[in-house]
Amino acid sequence: MPGWIAEASGAPRARITGVVYLLYFLTAVLGQYLASRKLVVYGVAFNVIANAFYVATTLLFYELFKPVRKRVSLVAALFSLVGCAVATLGLFHLAPSRISPLLFFGPYCLLLGYLILRSTFLPRILGVLMVLAGVGWLIFLLPRLPLFLSRCIEGLGILAEGLLMLWLLVRGVNVSRWRDQAGEGSRRGNAG
């Protein structure tokens, strides 16, 4: 990667990721609200837009975490993209009902948590929370999960992703550490 791209990549990309992540949250909440008010067509439309924002967020996270472990970042992105496709198809009742998007978003959160923990440019607590959210989303798939536990897991997932989004918006990443890790990755071939 040319030096000027590496220098420009860290901070602005992290903040842009935070903004797109926020747009995802806002459109997803609005889509759910509209659907619950029997405005199904509008709810579906906003959920499609939310899924598009999540695809963009996924691609931005891939680029942000590529210096940490390129292959792991790619696998994480693939899990998320498949989850987005399943979620979008589900909006139109085209996805098999037995396949939940959480089957893909759980591993995605686990892998993002791992990448955050391996990174030097984000707080480790965000990585721990994302790992817990990933495990939670996978547990959420279990049949006959008690309502209380189900709500706790849902809250943990929203909390973890929300805190990551807010951190990226407000603080971004430690740019010098991101640059160091990006430079180190390119020197060793970033085999990951």
pLDDT tens, residue order, the chain (192 aa): 444 344 444 567 899 999 999 999 999 999 999 999 999 999 999 999 999 999 999 999 999 999 999 999 999 999 999 999 999 999 999 988 789 999 999 999 999 999 999 999 999 999 999 999 999 999 888 888 888 888 888 899 999 999 999 999 999 999 989 988 888 655 554 445
Kindly give the residue spans of alpha helices, DSSP state H, lying in 66-174: 70-91, 102-118, 124-140, 147-170
- Give φ, ψ of 146 to 5 degrees: -55, 145
CB 77 within 8 A of CB 61: yes
Question: Is residue 171 helix, strand or coil?
Answer: coil
Q: For residues 80 and 76, what is the distance between their CA atoms, to the nearest angstrom?
A: 6
Question: Is residue 33 helix, strand or coil?
Answer: helix
